[in-house]
Amino acid sequence: MLEVAYKDLPTLVGKEIGVSDWLEITQERVNQFAEATNDHQWIHVDVERATREIGGPIAHGYLTLSLIPFLGSALLKVTGVTRGINYGSDKVRFTNMVRVGKRVRMRQKLLACEAKAGGLQMKNECTIEIEGEERPACVAETISVVYGA
State CA 148 to chain mean position distance.
24
CB 120 within 8 A of CB 145: yes
Q: What is the pLDDT of residue 90?
A: 92
Q: Which of 21, 4, 16, 5 is nearest to 110 (CA)?
A: 16
Tallying the residues shown for the chain, one arrives at: 149
pLDDT band at 149 (very low <50, low <70, confident <90, very high): confident
- What confidence tens digit (pLDDT) does each residue in 40-98 have? 999 999 999 999 999 999 999 999 999 999 999 999 999 999 999 999 999 999 999 99
Of the candidate CATH numbers 3.90.1150.10, 3.30.420.10, 3.40.50.880, 3.10.129.10, the domain formed by 2-148 belongs to: 3.10.129.10
The answer for 22, left when phi > 0, alpha when psi is -120 to 50, beta otherwise, is beta
Classify residue 30 by its DSSP letter: H
> What are the tens digits of pLDDT across the range 103-112?
999 999 999 9
Segments making up each domain of the chain, as ranges: 2-148
pTM: 0.91
Cross-strand partners of 77: 3
